[in-house]
Amino acid sequence: MRHLKHRAALAASILAGTLPAPAVLAQTALPPMISVIGEATVSVAPDLAQIDGGVTSEARTAREASDANNAAMGKVLLALKGAGIEEKDFQTSRLSLQPQSAPNRSGPSAIVGYRASNRVTVRLRDVSKLATVIDTMVGAGANDIGGINFTVTAASKLLDDAREQAVADARRKAEIYAKAAGVTLGAPLSISEGGSPVPVPYRRMAAGMAASATPVAQGEESLQVTVSVSWAIKQAAQ
């Protein structure tokens, strides 16, 4: 009998523990809210450009290819200095020396020569000089012009207007939902920012384009902000 009473008391205590108290429910329940995402975009002209280019040389031996490449790249670097580019604004981005093989279906491929490559990344703080610098590099012997990247250096500051517009866009959307649901907006409960400046894609161009003045279109860069905003809601007045 004592054993049965003990089991009944234990079951009652477990059942009581599994039933949440109303006060606890009130504390953990999320308040009624409307959550939306606001967006805004601003377009600005880039104020920094980077170009990647250099020299590729081929010769019968590794030493000949390397020596020819070193001499040619030296001329390109001197030309950059002569164009007023500071040494802190250009640096080697790739250096390679690789054997070149002739196709041979009947056996191992034979090495017929070597290819040396030296590439440099040039940073231009005056975007208007980009076409001139490309022409200067090609004129000095560069035969491998790669990508161009335009960026905005003060993107965060320029995004301040977009942030205000994004919050206004979020409010506009939230008011539409509130009206459709028959409620009114209260105070914002949370605001969080997402997104980042959208980069301009790299552009490929052939060295032959620089035989005359190189056409370069810098265009504009789009900077986008997205914000997630949650508003408290209340029943509309009757």
Residues 121-153 have pLDDT tens digits of 999 998 888 889 999 999 999 998 888 888 888
Distance of CA 207 to the CA centre of its chain: 27
216 band by pLDDT with thresholds 50, 70 and 90? low
The H or E element containing residue 62 is helix 62-82
Q: 37, 212 in Cβ contact below 8 A?
A: no
Q: Which range, of 86-90, 170-174, 199-203, averages the lowest pLDDT?
A: 199-203
- Between 18-27, 29-38, 69-78, 193-202, the lowest mean confidence (pLDDT) is in 18-27
Specify the length of the chain in residues.
238
pLDDT of the residue at 111 = 86
Question: Within the chain, which residue ranges are assigned CATH 3.30.70.2970?
Answer: 49-151
Could you give the percent of the chain with pLDDT greater than 70? 74
| HSE-up of residue 32 (Cα within 13 Å, Cβ side) | 9
Task: Please write the tens of the pLDDT for every residue from 148-185.
Answer: 888 888 777 778 888 999 999 999 999 999 999 989 99
Could you tell me where in the chain the CATH 3.30.110.170 domains are found? 30-47+155-238
Cα–Cα distance measured from residue 91 to residue 117, given in angstroms and rounded to the nearest whole number: 14
Question: pLDDT, tens digit, for every residue of 29-70?
Answer: 678 899 999 999 888 888 889 999 999 999 999 999 999 999
Q: Which residues contact 168 (CB under 8 A, 6 or more apart)?
A: 38, 40
Give residue 219's pLDDT.
58
CATH classification number, 49-151, choose in 3.30.70.2970, 3.30.930.10, 3.55.50.30, 3.40.50.300 = 3.30.70.2970
Tokens representing 184 are 């009114």
Predicted pLDDT at 156? 76
Q: Does the pLDDT value for residue 202 go beyond 50? A: no
Up-side HSE of residue 115: CA atoms within 13 Å toward CB?
9
The rounded distance, in Å, linking the Cα atoms of 35 and 166 is 14
66: left (phi over 0), alpha (psi -120 to 50) or beta: alpha
Verdict on whether the full-model pTM lies above 0.85: no
CA 98 to CA 58: how far, in whole Å? 10
CATH 3.30.110.170 fits 30-47+155-238, yes or no: yes
Q: How many helices (H) and strands (E) does the chain have?
A: 6, 8
Tokens of 112: 């017929």
Rounded CA gap, 189 and 171, in Å?
13
